[in-house]
């Protein structure tokens, strides 16, 4: 659970910005999207392998 400290002098816009930043850094939305559908471990492994291969081809030598 995220807790946002809001000061008396702080605007709602600023507090909302802090909340959005914390949610993004915590990876909550990413985790929700991943949990939406079950992915078999073998498929995850294959996906990670392809992603690494792409990074090697694009950025590596």
Which pLDDT tens digit goes with each residue over 12-42?
A: 899 999 999 999 999 999 999 999 999 999 9
The answer as to whether 6 is a domain residue is no
The answer as to whether 26 is a domain residue is yes
The answer as to whether 45 is a domain residue is yes
The answer as to whether 44 is a domain residue is yes
The answer as to whether 2 is a domain residue is no
More confident residue, 4 or 40: 40
What was the pLDDT predicted at 10? 87
The answer as to whether 46 is a domain residue is yes
Residue 1 has what DSSP assignment?
A: -
How would residue 4 be classed by pLDDT, with cut points 50, 70 and 90?
A: confident
Domain count of the fold of the chain: 1
Using CA atoms, how far apart are residues 55 and 47, in angstroms rounded to an integer? 12
The answer as to whether 28 is a domain residue is yes
Range of the domain at 30: 12-59
pTM score, two decimals? 0.56
The answer as to whether 1 is a domain residue is no
CA dist list (Å): 1 to 22, 44, 45, 58: 11, 27, 30, 38
């Amino acid at each position: 659970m995220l807790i946002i400290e809001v000061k008396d002098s702080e605007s709602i816009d600023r507090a909302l910005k802090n909340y959005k930043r914390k949610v993004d850094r915590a990876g909550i939305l990413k985790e929700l999207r991943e949990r939406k559908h079950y992915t078999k471990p073998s498929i995850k492994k294959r996906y990670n392998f392809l992603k690494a291969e792409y990074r090697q081809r694009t950025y590596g030598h």
